[in-house]
Structure 1
């Protein structure tokens, strides 16, 4: 009997290692083994801590794996979910732009997952209705550009924290589920959805539901056919009478209040779309003469006599190098909508004097008192640097602020790089791109000297906030707003808060601006639109991951914008030098990232 007990004891010992959880290293190697082409991950090797060595696609937080982002690697085969389940700290998974196929893997076994990105694969078939029931923490779901069929899983409606849902370009059918969560980014376009869109979802852009031939109801301009019941007809008639009465009352109130709100109404310009980036569109002015209108002179005189009067209606000039003007000049100006950015809407105003300006309506800027706000604006107005877009004037109201800068006809770097395929884009040869990078670096160096004690001397650095002068000299805009903006709103809108510094470490420092600089450098040298911007909620390239992967595989030359390589092949080494600087600026760990002074020094060393 003792022999039998000993036998079972030895058997138990032999099986014990199989029941122990895998280390992170072992789990990742098991995942790698499940791919049909594991050779694409040469940096994943045994006996190494994935968080201390550079494993492609592995992002760590507090020495635990928080994210696995394996994008643009042409991976195929299966995905070992059991291996992933052995990584308890895992919160985000991305297999974007690969070649996986078949039914959706059982990611629902990863109960603590917060983000799932499967865009641009070949997954197919229906997704079980209860698939997301066990993923209560999920915030972001990107299943776009696959071949999923059947109804949208009903369990999505129960995800309390859901903020991003992208299902576009699949073959989903059936009705649109009612989503009552506070969703920031939604796209169900290019599917086979049917029926009426729930009224609670009418707030979304019509493009979110486009190319679903049998969908109807708001926000689409397609009415649903319905036959109201007899009992409803009487009620509807009563509602019409009430609405007419209310409209009459409101019309009377409008007439009374119109004069009181005339000035504000003049600034109520609606944007053409909900694009997050401001893209300037130049319309040539018929009057190019310099000067100041009589109305401007009077306004300026009044303001100066009062020492910068602050009564509602004043436009406070903080920089008169382009002449002086007042609110009457802006009201009379020909206005052109430019866009609606994260910090507010913007439009171009071409005044009679010949000066064109950009007026931004800034929201949620009540973090400081009016006196401090005024002092900061005047401080901004005193800045003088070839690479800084110095403000001209501001208008203060508690609810919102108007921020006036000079109009740059060539528009933003974002527009010239990605939106303009005309002469401006063709001008972006290697010397011009290097000039832009150096100008941005010099502008940042200036801001770091002017605001040495600020955590974020810029704080919102991205290509849409880099304006280009006629000679392609870059000017930085939207800088140093961080101390003025309400914190919660800053987290939602400022690019600094989309960096690994805040996402992974919940802090922003001066090295956060370095990361943002690195993104622009990679954007300029590759010609790719960074997915980090998420300007329209979808698309783009994860330039950071793409570059790090290519560098580890010694394929850096493949990253250079083909337009640069074909026209300036003799400068390839200099381009690669700049690429390496961009990579060093975008290290996910701030401690391993270049500081601003070193980044600027290395950029200045790059020659044409």
Structure 2
């Protein structure tokens, strides 16, 4: 029927040249798409300027054209009619667009099968049909497209088995078939041929059988290997450990069995990667393999002293002398290990400064580098902990130094010059210059919480143990029933928000790419330390540019971590003006309250939700996008859509990549002044998009984010 429609339009063109003779053949093919969509207000808006009287379709909304050698008229290379809530089918006439490179129809309600004629458009390299209602099978001929790089058919109703013809998609980089009804087994023996595949998502289907061994040969894979919410069974192949160390696994909600391998990439996986597989055991999930049915059936009879022999007798136990010798050797070994541990602890305790440079041991070239987990700068001594137990509950005030090398008197703090630096829901922050000329930052938390002194000091001690080159150091604190203060290092060059947007909030482009990359690496380094190595495995919960402080060399320092818990303990409004320090200050300037936090992860905006490390990953991804684009997250780009909902920064950038817009349309123009920046900028963009995935389980760990960033520009 569609073919007849196209022929009919061509017939009209020949019979009535004054009316439709101007429209090119590409335009006639596109009119088939307009005709295939049901009449609705959304359709009228989407195709409002698709007029058959135009000479070509290049001015139509959602259509991209290019002048090609050998052709007088421009040819259609891109069609993007997405997120319009259109209902209809995909016409086969689109396959006649022989120069079409990008087809983007996602976020509509297209139904029916994917026409095989579509793959006659041999120039196609990106097909985005996700979030529709397409049914039928995955056409094997899809891999007849020689340039196919991006295929996203997720969130449809496609069914059947996955064809082994996928091995013919030699150029494929991203394959997303999640949220369909595919069944049968994942084909094996095909993945080693897909040398360019960087994303594979087969989650939320009905796939069964075992995980193919050759998935471990996807050497270009990055981000998350997502096989969750299927019916996969059997053991997890050890070959998956051969994947790059930056790859995260998501194998949740399957029927996998046996012990989780401990080699290669498995060492970087958290317990959430293996949840809801009742028969899995071993690290990192909290289930021992010793009590599993598999281990008892294979090894349960091999440890008893009375195990039967082939002749029906029993083996003799170990001789008493040998048992004594083994016991003595074990005791000596344990004692030696204890001595080594004590030596290492005291050696760390005596370190005065951290020599970590921000590199990890994964740097390559055989060079051993400092891991951020060892960059602790020592631990607070017992004197600080004992001192914190002395006061607070006696009705008076108590000034406690967390850092033994930092000391001053309370009256010195009161006499010092003080200036308001900022005000937020986490309290007022002052710059205070002590008598020796050293400036510090003093945060006033509030007046309440006198009944929770021990809880408060426990939190303070945990925060005080965090010592890292990219995290603001807590130097001391003051406790009194009517006042709680935190004293930390003063960082001299403001924060990232001011560096990006200026003191007045207006955009500025003063930061070079090298400075932005340094800030991104240092911030990722500090967050990875908080997540992986800090005493409490801290979640920051409020990562944003105003909490990333900068020194004169644009080295970043993360501030305000752990404060939400302290505020809940004090229980009062920290922005009130009471308290002794408020009265002692000679000058207080008015500070406008902060704007709505647009850096929060989608799940963080649900009332009552509990902070997670993946919140921080998302927020950091938005910070990366702001560093790259120079635009704040509440940025609303111009759009031809009639929808009242404007896309946020992350969605705008993601759409730009799907539609393959020029990088210059999205990047802060300042960055292209550095010749080498384009390749590095592109790498950071991909990392930022991975961090801002909607599904928190798909986002990488902060450790992996840092490791990837650390390779950029080296």
TM-score range, shorter chain: 0.3 to 0.5
Q: TM-score, normalised on structure 1?
A: 0.47
TM-score normalised by the chain length of structure 2: 0.41
Answer with 1 or 2: which has the greater Rg. 2
